[in-house]
Amino acid sequence: MRLLSIIVSFLLLTALSLPVAPVHAESSSGVLERSMSDTLDLWREGRYEQLFEHLAHRGKTSREQFVNKMRDTSVRPTCCFQKLSNFKVLNEKRSEATVYARVGLEGTPTAAESCTREFKLTHEENIWKMQLADVLSISGASGTKKHRTSRKHSAYK
């Protein structure tokens, strides 16, 4: 009996002395930032079909509609370290996160060369996804194009 208690004590002490490894090797902030950066890279490279798959809350927007809207805009994220900065996680839940970041832009019609704001990310299909509406808004393609036709009514019929 004494030998059994010595063995159990030894095993317990050995288990307690092992270093505790974190569940995630990378912080959630790093995962969120890398995911957002990868999404911005797809946009910058003009890979709109793949970008569409990396976006959440697509609603009724089809892949073709999205690709056409994105091709019609000249705005895209800048390269390298200017692409994503001041990244901060404001709120994170299991399937949703709110982050604050500055996205560097080029090709903007105004003098603004960046967009600093909150972004919602959704965890779907084992990756964090930006919202489709956020990408369209930043790109300037969020508004629907209204085709106006003017008809002149003739007094003579």
End-to-end CA distance of the chain: 112
Query: Which pLDDT score is estimated for 151?
Result: 38
Q: pLDDT per residue over 69-115, tens digit each?
A: 999 999 999 999 899 999 999 999 999 999 999 999 999 877 679 99
Domain membership of residue 8 (yes or no) is no
Domain membership of residue 150 (yes or no) is no
Domain membership of residue 22 (yes or no) is no
Domain membership of residue 134 (yes or no) is yes
Which burial class, exposed, middle or buried, applies to 20 when counting CB atoms under 10 A from its CB (0-12, 13-18, 19+)?
exposed
Domain membership of residue 87 (yes or no) is yes
Domain span at residue 36 reads 27-139
Domain total for the chain? Answer: 1
Instruction: Return the CATH number at 62.
Output: 3.10.450.100
Query: Which pLDDT score is estimated for 8?
Result: 62
Distance CA 114, CA 116 (A): 7
Domain membership of residue 4 (yes or no) is no
Whole-model pTM?
Answer: 0.72
Domain membership of residue 9 (yes or no) is no
**Lowest pLDDT segment from 18-22, 31-35, 88-92:** 18-22
- Residue 79 C-beta-side C-alpha neighbours within 13 Å: 2
- Residue 12 C-beta-side C-alpha neighbours within 13 Å: 6
Domain membership of residue 47 (yes or no) is yes
What are the DSSP E strand ranges found in 36-154? 55-56, 76-77, 84-92, 96-106, 114-124, 127-131
